[in-house]
Amino acid sequence: MNASVCFEQKGIIESINHHLIRIRIDRETSCAHCNASGICNIADMSERTIEISNFSHSFSVGEWVGITITRKTGNMAVLLGYFIPFILLIATLLILTSFTLPEWQAGLISLLVLVPYFAVLYLFREKLKKTFSFSIHKIG
């Protein structure tokens, strides 16, 4: 595996429509050797489907392919999905409790602060899809 690659797995092509390939990754192939499989969201699913829109080779349905994401892109996904929401939650909780707000109200407001954050991520999902793109290559 290349040093700049964060995630590299095998999958099977389910469908090809125009410029979009759908690839199925089974849990056994993607999570069997991973140390974080107990806490990862992908581990909760038996299979995962990934859509890839920018590819350079010709592929066929049923073909096994390799899927990769770069370390930089993986780190950005962790930052946006886990780290920033955590910081928002803790910062809001600390600020509100310092104003002598009851803990239950501070906790509730801290959770509600995450709603606009994830709403903004949802609004920019098309741009994020382009940023968090997977690469596909033939195996063998």
Residue 91 has what pLDDT?
Answer: 96
Residue 108 has what pLDDT?
Answer: 96
Average pLDDT over residues 92-97: 94
What is the pLDDT of the chain when averaged over all its residues?
Answer: 82
| Cβ proximity of 16 and 64 under 8 Å | no
What are the structural domain ranges in the chain? Answer: 5-138
| 20-26 β-sheet, strand order | 47-52, 20-26, 5-17, 64-70, 135-138
Where is average pLDDT lowest: 20-24, 30-34, 91-95, 99-103? 30-34
> At residue 46, does pLDDT exceed 80?
no
Residue 32 has what pLDDT?
Answer: 55
Residues forming beta bridges with residue 83, ordered by sequence position: none
Q: For the chain, give me the number of helices (H) and strands (E)?
A: 5, 5
Distance linking the first and last C-alpha atoms of the chain: 14
Backbone torsions φ then ψ of 90, nearest 5 degrees: -65, -45
